[in-house]
Amino acid sequence: MAEENPLAVKQEEENDPHFEPVVKLTEQVDTKTHEEDEEVLFKMRAKLFRFDGDAAEWKERGTGDVRLLEHKETHKVRLVMRRDKTLKVCANHVISSDMRLQPNIGSDRSWVWKVAADYSESPATAETLAIRFANSDNAGQFKTAFEDGQKKNAALTTDAPAEAHAPATEESVGPTTVAPETETETKAEAEEAKAEESAPADATVPADAPAADAAAE
């Protein structure tokens, strides 16, 4: 009986069936955040809070980079903040000339302000927001950039310049005491800020990030 040649091609191996895919993939759709059309004027890590009027308490909205963005064509400046990891928008509003940053009672690194229309959720809502930075220097830089944005927006409209408005009082701004700061939390935020300063700056938002500019629509 002849031995079978192991190198011989078997008939079943010669068959090369071709299968058509059952599910056809659609073309990839690029998600636009409208941030591609804006220039980053300011970017810094912070923690954001909102005041819940029903519960009469401050609630944390998220931690991440707060940015001031200027549109390349309209030159309108807005504030956008996304949560770490999820990149979900937790603040998105135009910086109007009537807004006032009020110091947080008992802290030199926090600010409180009122927003008539915040577009981080749909529909837009009026909010009282508070933001806390790792140190007072960072808080001061944010205030300077915020007020510069107000002046730019005021120059684009018929509103009076921001400095012409009377300073806001605590009553007009609302509650100014944010959630208490613990020593552990303060140290952790300071370490994060130090790490941010040593890391290369990167203002790019991933293309698959959720759309932030509900106001533009």
Describe the strand order of the beta sheet including 110-118 as a list of residue ranges.
89-94, 77-82, 57-71, 38-52, 125-132, 110-118, 102-103
pLDDT, mean of residues 141-156: 97
pLDDT of residue 167: 35
Task: Give the domain CATH number at 99.
Answer: 2.30.29.30
Q: How many helices (H) and strands (E) does the chain have?
A: 4, 7
pTM above 0.75, yes or no: no
Per the domain annotation, does 45 fall within a domain? yes
Q: Hey, what are 194's tokens?
A: 């130090």
| Domain hosting residue 100, numbered range | 35-197
Strand, helix or coil at 138?
helix
Q: With 70 as the cut, is the pLDDT of residue 211 above it? A: no
Contact between 47 and 63 under an 8 Å Cβ cutoff? The reply is yes
pLDDT of residue 135: 97
Least confident of 17-21, 40-44, 141-145, 194-198: 194-198
Per the domain annotation, does 26 fall within a domain? no
User: Rounded to the nearest 5°, which phi and psi values hold at 81?
Assistant: -135, 135
Question: What rounded mean pLDDT belongs to the chain?
Answer: 76
Per the domain annotation, does 204 fall within a domain? no
pLDDT, mean of residues 34-48: 93
Q: With 70 as the cut, is the pLDDT of residue 188 above it? A: no
Per the domain annotation, does 8 fall within a domain? no
Q: How many domains does the chain have?
A: 1
Distances (CA, A) of 39 to 34, 81, 134, 208: 11, 14, 24, 19
Helix ranges (DSSP H) in the chain: 11-14, 136-156, 170-173, 183-198
Per the domain annotation, does 43 fall within a domain? yes
Per the domain annotation, does 130 fall within a domain? yes
pLDDT of residue 213: 41
Per the domain annotation, does 3 fall within a domain? no
Span 52-103, pLDDT tens digits? 999 999 999 999 999 999 999 999 999 999 999 999 999 999 999 999 999 9
Per the domain annotation, does 9 fall within a domain? no
